[in-house]
Structure 1
Amino acid sequence: MPAYDIIGDIHGHADELKSLLATLGYHRHRAGYRCVDRKLVFVGDFVDRGPAIAEVIEIVRATTDAGDGFAVMGNHEYNAIAYHTAVPGRSDAWFRVHSEKNTRQHQATLDQLSPNEMADAIAWFKRLPVALELDGIRVVHAAWRETQIDLLNHSLESLGRLGVDFLTESERKGSALNEAVEAVLKGPEIALPVGHSIVDNGGHKRNTVRIKWYEDPAGRTYRGYHFGSDDVPDVPMNAETLDGMTGYPEDAPPVFVGHYWLTGRPAPLASNVACTDYSVAKGGKLVAYRWDGEQVLKNENFKWVEG
């Protein structure tokens, strides 16, 4: 069975990436990296925030093009596509609004890539899969939601790969495709009880929170079933909120995600669920999980370098 090293969100931190790859036993192969008996898997979010975005793209792209690894799309790649795709028939309108907030999030990429480099990167982002199944593992940026992944893949075929038709539907609030993008690439969320809200890490007031989608929510409280702030109320979730939510099955293939800005010492989220995003873009760690065929994931298989 093939062995894989699954690497978390890089966000333009090429030095940490090269250091981690050396630690894992990979060596340069042209512009990418190679190991004789293992392959790399990248969980997305290559751009924004860090100081060496072009180099990260070059390494990941060369590695995957050479057949030495795989990559999935992150929400930052999706957002970049939408930010740089004009809405037809409207003057100075884009599928991702050029607001102060959105531009600030994307600013490092705007500063570091030339127009030609940006166009080339966007074309590559459009070819990235939204999820992968590889010899006994699953990889997706934020959440494995099979029905929604199927919808995304069908829509990419029928509407075109992240073109105008796809984005028109995926950016239409409340559409099934919009909900699939939000869950699979950005993480499922639930609405808080009426009258409750939190302030997120960016200082924005929110009445929804990300959830531990891999756990069974039955009998849980809002605080116990979310990622993030202790300001979330410690009250039971209502039946409507729980409808259709069952968690990720314990007998399903191990699934690897990024996205969640975790901190501390890396460890599995569940016996067959692991997050490899440990906040390198905020001074944390760039993390990999070394998978050798096990169904039950192990603490000792996480490897990392400090940001």
Structure 2
Amino acid sequence: MYDLIGDIHGHSVPLKTLLQTMDYIPINGIWRHENRKAVFVGDYIDRGPAIREVLSIVRGMVDNGHALALLGNHEYNALGYAFQLPNGQFLRSHNAVHTKQHQATLDQFRSYQQEWKSYLDWFATLPLFAELNGIRAVHACWDDDHIQWLKDTGNTTMNTNLLLASFERGNIATTIIEETLKGKEFNIPEKYSWHDKDGHPRNSNRLRWWINPDAVAYGDFLFNCPPELRDQPVNQGLSMSVYPADAPPVFFGHYWMEDKFPVIQSVNVICLDYSVAKGGHLVAYRWYGEPKLNSKNFVTIPGG
């Protein structure tokens, strides 16, 4: 069975504590469980103080068959940041915002450039989604049409062609990768613009893609909803796919949930990102094959 683990962001101490709490043990430096497998939903790098150690733990488990690791948006961004085009420019520009987001990783690998290159090559092999004997996992958003496109085109990992296409404005790959790894967004009136956790102004909000917008208010549909919009009903007729209530359980990270304790988002939907990099918790869900998700299966470790 599987232990699904949320965003780590370079925090190795909570990660090791979490693994130990779930009865994983390190043998010859590789964490393993006698009869379970870890599934990491992405975002191993940036922000935290021990990025190299986190990557060593996760990759060691994957390479030895004790874990599956998905690509997160921070690993995707790192690939774009490192990919230099023939004209000397980079796929993801080295502007102040992008560099600040990536700075902790750049600093910690400054004296380990070959090691970092090895991890970049490894990122390109990580799956964009997983279907595992009755459950699903993805970093930010499971859209059946997007997943089918990735399957049909043979783009289940971030190969070079997909990476290049995903940075082309107007390319279908751009929408699919952005929404799969960063979530779907909803544009709000400019007067309701807000600032994200990194201080950047936003006039769009990530949306809860498992909620039907036709019957709820904006406060239930949008993350970080401006107070002025919370009680207003969502515009009727919004065209979007909603994760079906009868689909397999899906696990993901990415959204910086702020609840004091992890909660099941919907009957078959669980977010595992509880802001470990911002003083929150590192969260896992232990799946035993149950058809109905159970909140007793969460494991929570303070970020410190």
Normalised by the length of structure 2, the TM-score is: 0.93
Name the amino acid aligned to 1:71: A
Once the two structures are TM-superposed, the CA of residue 118 in structure 1 deviates from its matched residue by 1.2
Q: Quote the residue 1:287 is aligned against.
A: 283
The 5 Å alignment of 1:36-115 reads 36-88=34-86, 90-91=87-88, 93-113=89-109, 114-115=112-113
| CA RMSD, 1 decimal | 1.8
* Cα displacement string for residues 165-210 of structure 1 (whole angstroms, at most 9, x for unaligned residues): 3233201233211111111100111111464322222222211100
2:254 maps to 259
Residue aligned with 1:16, SS: helix
Residues 223-234 of structure 1 correspond to what in structure 2 (within 5 A)?
223-231=219-227, 233-234=229-230
Structure 2 residue 198 is matched with structure 1 residue 219: no
> Within 5 Å, which residues of 2 pair with 1:10-25?
10-25=8-23
* Distance in 1, Cα, partners of 2:35 & 2:243: 30
Local SS of the residue matching 1:286: strand
Partner of 1:181: 177
8 Å CA contact 1:7–1:43 kept in 2: the answer is yes
Which residue is equivalent to 1:162? 159
Rounded to whole Å, the distance in 2 between the matches of 1:30 and 1:99 is: 41
My pick for the range that moved more, 142-151 or 12-21, is 142-151
Q: Is the 8 A contact 1:155 1:166 kept in 2?
A: no
Contact 1:198 1:232 in 2 (8 A): no
Question: Structure 1 residue 238 and structure 2 residue 235: aligned?
Answer: yes
CA distance in 1: counterparts of 2:18 and 2:33, whole angstroms: 13
Q: Gapped runs of 5+ residues in structure 1? A: none
CA contact (8 A) 2:80 2:91 kept: yes
- Cα distance 1:194–1:55, how it changes in 2: closer, same or farther (>3 A)? closer
**Aligned residue identity for 2:84:** A
The SS at the match of 2:213 is coil
Q: TM-score, normalised by structure 1?
A: 0.92
Contact 2:273/2:283 (<8 A) preserved: yes
**Stretch of structure 1 that moved more, 107-116 or 72-81:** 107-116
Aligned in 2, Cα 1:189/1:138: closer, same or farther, shift over 3 Å? Answer: same
8 Å CA contact retained: 1:151, 1:177? no
C-alpha change, 1:257 and 1:157, in structure 2 (3 Å) is closer
Give 3-state SS (helix, strand or coil) of 1:218's partner.
helix
Q: What are the residue-to-residue correspondences of 1:263-282 with 2, within 5 Å?
A: 263=258, 264-282=260-278
Aligned runs of 1:183-202 on 2, under 5 Å? 183-193=179-189, 195-202=191-198
**Residues 6 and 232 (structure 1), Cα distance of their counterparts in 2 relative to 1, 3 Å cut:** farther
| Residue in structure 2 matched with residue 147 of structure 1 by the alignment | 145
SS of 1:256's equivalent in the other structure is strand
Shift of 1:119: 0.4
What is the aligned partner in structure 2 of residue 123 from structure 1?
121
CA shift, 1:37, in A, is 1.5
Gaps of 5+ in 2: none
How many residues align? The count is 299
Quote the offset at 1:18 in angstroms: 0.6
AA aligned to 2:244 is P
Counterparts of 1:156 and 1:12, CA distance in 2: 30
The one-letter code of the counterpart of 2:282 is L
Instruction: Tell which deviates more after alignment, 24-33 or 183-192.
Output: 24-33
Q: Distance in 1 between matches of 2:40 and 2:158?
A: 20
Q: 1:152 to 1:72 in 2, by over 3 A?
A: same
Measure how far apart 1:154 and its partner are.
4.5
